[in-house]
Structure 1
Amino acid sequence: MHDASRSLALPTPLNLSRYSLGGKAVAVVLGSLFLTLCSYIQVPMVPVPVTLQTFGVLLIGALYGWRLGAITTLAWLTQAAMGLPVLAGGANGWMAFAGPTGGYLFSHPLVAALAGWLVQRGWNGERPGLAFLGMALASALCLTVGASWLALFVGVEQAVTLGVAPFVLGDLLKCALVAATLKLIASRQRNNA
């Protein structure tokens, strides 16, 4: 049986689909370490610190593809739920998911999946404008889910004021950085071909 959706998908920049199960497992471990590192790089703000966490989630999705990107992000969140200090500021445990920032965390597998899905459909380094737009859409998903959850704690107006507005410019810069990274990788792959 022919899978039409699979035939439309381009390889991701790292083309991890050709790796063995063991190779993919190593990629998941390395990806979760990268996400942890990104989480520790932060500028303190209330109620949600500005970190490179979203950059990491977008980049993992874009480089790994929608499936492995989402799996990697889920593995990282599972580590946090198990008590490993992998989130911003070393946060961990179930309380991190139950508090005001829980929505942002819950959105991350969806964000990685959307970023990877768009890259696999040509919104990649060969088209940096589309790559930026795709990352911006994925980032908007994170802010929407995160602010919706935050609204349960502080109301809709405060959720937008505290959980969206302060992060828009930073998120756009992160999207530009992911798009530039994808363009650089595409250029190097073209030169090495």
Structure 2
Amino acid sequence: MTRRSPATDAALIAGFAALIAVCAILPEIKTGIGVPYSLQTFGVLLAGAALGPVRGFLAVVLYLVLGLVLPIYSGGASGAAVYTGVTAGYLVAFPLAAALCGFLVYRGRTNATQFAFVFTCGLLSSFLLIHTLGPLNLAWRADLGIKEAFSFDAAYFPGDIAKNVLMALVASAVHRAFPDLAARRASRTRQDELAAA
């Protein structure tokens, strides 16, 4: 069985980092309820769901590193100062959420083509990490009570659910079109187990 090429991995990581950047700098979606949404978390979770925990994590980290010098964070922001602001918790959570989403999807790789499964993995990752670290940092940086910060964050739940629907549609389609994305990792793990026996 052919092992995955490091060059292919690097290209996928760079490509998904660019995708996240595009999602982040696209104009925010106006909802009419006073809470605009960006597609940034869609790109973050898609990286994990499509690439798996390691490559997904690295794609998001690469995006965050590039954002230190390029205006590719949400709203066109950039620089280290962003990490001292009220949104820093969300940025820190992004690579962790991508890794968790990728771990869950690839752990149940036989279900990676199933929309409901991928959606559940994405939503769980988002709520456990992004919607936890984000408001905790918000409470700290904006001098808010924990309850108040989490209530503020809750306004983003509907948009996050919608973005996870979109992410799951795309990721499950990607896995149907490219089954080797998940299968290669499984094959290599099995080879390692046989070699150790």
User: Do both share a fold (TM > 0.5)?
Assistant: yes
What is the CA–CA distance in structure 1 between the aligned matches of 2:36 and 2:98, rounded to whole Å? 20
The change in CA–CA distance for 1:177 and 1:44 in structure 2 (over 3 A counts) is: closer
The change in CA–CA distance for 1:185 and 1:80 in structure 2 (over 3 A counts) is: closer
TM-score of the superposition, structure 1-length normalised? 0.80
1:159 aligns with 2:149: yes
- 1:77 aligns with 64
1:38 is matched by which residue type in structure 2? C
Structure 1 position 125, deviation (Å): 3.6
1:43 is matched by which residue type in structure 2? I
Structure 1 position 187, deviation (Å): 4.1
- 2:50 aligns with 63
- State which of 20, 24, 45 in structure 2 corresponds to 1:35: 20
TM-score of the superposition, structure 2-length normalised? 0.78
What is the CA–CA distance in structure 1 between the aligned matches of 2:145 and 2:74, rounded to whole Å? 24
* RMSD of aligned Cα (Å): 2.3
Structure 1 position 18, deviation (Å): 4.0
What is the CA–CA distance in structure 1 between the aligned matches of 2:29 and 2:83, rounded to whole Å? 20
Q: Is the 8 A contact 1:125 1:180 kept in 2?
A: no
Q: Which moved more, 1:169-178 or 1:48-57?
A: 48-57
C-alpha deviations, 1:131-157, integer Å up to 9, x for none? 111111111021111011111022213
Which segments of 5 or more consecutive residues in structure 2 lack a partner in the other structure? 180-197
1:24 aligns with 2:24: no
Structure 1 position 27, deviation (Å): 1.7
1:148 aligns with 2:136: yes
Within 5 Å, give how 1:2-151 maps onto structure 2. 18-41=3-26, 42-43=28-29, 50-81=37-68, 83-122=69-108, 124-140=111-127, 141-151=129-139
Which segments of 5 or more consecutive residues in structure 1 lack a partner in the other structure? 1-16
Count of paired positions = 171
**SS where residue 71 of structure 2 aligns?**
coil
